[in-house]
Amino acid sequence: MILENLKEAPKDPILSLSAACRLDENPNKVDLGIGVYRDERGITPVMEAIKLAEAKLLQEQSTKAYVGLAGNEAFNTSMIELMLGDSRSKERAVGVQTPGASGALRMLADVIKSSAPDATVWLSDLSYANHAPIMWTAGLKVRYYPYFDTTTKLVQTDAMMDSLKEAGTNDVVLLHGCCHNPTGADLSFEAWKTITDMAIQQGFLPFIDIAYQGFGDGMEEDVKGFRYLADRVESYVLTGSCSKNFGLYRERAGIAVVAAKTIEQSNRIKTRILEAARSTYTMPPDHGAELVNIILNNPLLKSNWLNEVETMRLRVEGLRSKLASALRDKSGTSHYDFIAQHKGMFSVLGLSVEDAHILREKQSIYLVDSGRINIAGMQESQIDYIAESLLSL
């Protein structure tokens, strides 16, 4: 019988952690699993700029009628502006609003599959836990390029470039625009230049995923490498998320962007994304996207928002250096100094799966099996406990 053969799905490696942590009765429990920002009270606040934009929307919105398949087109334009800035490729870039950046990843994967059914998507080793499942579900092959050096905890750029020499015209190379998830180890600007040359010479399609703009070195600095590439390669695809930098996690505001050789071709590809969206979810939710659009087009709200993101960024940077120095002081070694060099919300600590399980079971510290901790989710008062627990392994 249909349905009767189905067994329970394996638990999601990230989302299941929050649920498990909620049930844990240990008063010292620490949730370092899912990538959400928390303030010193342990709360993921609604940003002030969002509250103001919501008040404006409540006053001014006159209809809840459908938007089109591309979602909120004003949001698409504003997000392209935010991510591409002064990049010349803006003239040939088109966007489609999607339910979160995961929705964008899937829509772009579907379109790549239609264009090149045998294409292989190269992912960094390690990569975001949902990248491979999304690509596989769209019917694409996945291959990994060396990325995270487990000894230095930085990017192994030479090995990465060596491996990517094999990528050709039937390949897609997925790069994290900034704040690499899960490792925290980012590409240098030099590495972006090398990849750009390789894409031009070898003809692979760069696929950039930007989910944490503003959490690394700053809103503009974080996209410097991406914009360098965008201006030089013939075509690229891009995903963007408003979950973290607008704190709009549950509103699912994301975008898929395509920049082909000409704007005419980009527009043709856009119709393919809309076709894929129609047969999947039809159109994305509008609320979060409209808030982003209001903020990005109102100078006062925009400057409030930029300040708020900068405050979050600096807080995460501070937590990084405090955790690194607690570990240095307590261990008398520089083994964990890399935590202060990493960018964005996460760091991979180089722990085994067993270590992650021990931390969860014995200390009620919840982290992803890859050894990723969400620095942005910790409170200063928890740092000593986290450091001591890590050193007890």
Residues forming contacts to ligand LMR in the complex (CB under 6 A) are 14, 34-35, 102, 128, 130, 181
Tell me the residue type at 256: A
Q: CB–CB of 107/94 below 8 Å?
A: no
Q: List CB contacts of 316: < 8 A, sequence separation 6 or more.
A: 37, 215, 344, 345, 375, 376
In the complex with ligand LMR, which residue's Cβ is closer, 204 or 215? Answer: 215
In the complex with ligand LMR, which residue's Cβ is closer, 33 or 206? Answer: 33
What is the β-pairing status of strands 365-366 and 30-31?
A: parallel
Shortest Å distance, C-beta 268 to ligand LMR? 30
Phi-psi region of 44 (alpha: psi -120 to 50; beta: other; left: phi over 0): beta
Beta bridge partners of residue 175, listed in sequence order: 208
Shortest Å distance, C-beta 323 to ligand LMR? 18
Shortest Å distance, C-beta 102 to ligand LMR? 6
In the complex with ligand LMR, which residue's Cβ is closer, 250 or 278? Answer: 250
Q: E strands along the chain, which residues?
A: 30-31, 93-99, 120-125, 141-146, 171-176, 205-210, 236-241, 253-259, 346-348, 365-366, 372-374
In the complex with ligand LMR, which residue's Cβ is closer, 269 or 368? Answer: 368
What are the angstrom distances between the C-alpha of 343 and each of 141, 154, 314, 321? 29, 11, 11, 11
- How many other C-beta atoms lie within 10 A of the C-beta of residue 66? 9
In the complex with ligand LMR, which residue's Cβ is closer, 33 or 95? Answer: 33
Shortest Å distance, C-beta 36 to ligand LMR? 7
Phi-psi region of 255 (alpha: psi -120 to 50; beta: other; left: phi over 0): beta
Shortest Å distance, C-beta 138 to ligand LMR? 17
Shortest Å distance, C-beta 343 to ligand LMR? 15
Shortest Å distance, C-beta 365 to ligand LMR? 16
In the complex with ligand LMR, which residue's Cβ is closer, 114 or 137? Answer: 137
In the complex with ligand LMR, which residue's Cβ is closer, 128 or 226? Answer: 128
Per the document, the length of the chain is 393
Which DSSP category does 382 fall into? G
Beta bridge partners of residue 64, listed in sequence order: none
Shortest Å distance, C-beta 370 to ligand LMR? 10
- How many other C-beta atoms lie within 10 A of the C-beta of residue 61? 11
Shortest Å distance, C-beta 140 to ligand LMR? 19
Cα Rg, the chain, nearest whole Å? 21
Shortest Å distance, C-beta 164 to ligand LMR? 24
- One-character DSSP codes across 164-223: HTT--TTEEEEEESSS-TTT-PPPPHHHHHHHHHHHHHH-PEEEEEES-TTSSS-TTGGG
Please identify the residue of the shown chain whose CB is closest to the bound ligand LMR: 35
In the complex with ligand LMR, which residue's Cβ is closer, 128 or 145? Answer: 128
In the complex with ligand LMR, which residue's Cβ is closer, 283 or 367? Answer: 367
Rounded distance between C-alpha atoms, residue 296 and residue 199, angstroms: 32
In the complex with ligand LMR, which residue's Cβ is closer, 198 or 319? Answer: 319
Rounded distance between C-alpha atoms, residue 341 and residue 37, angstroms: 19
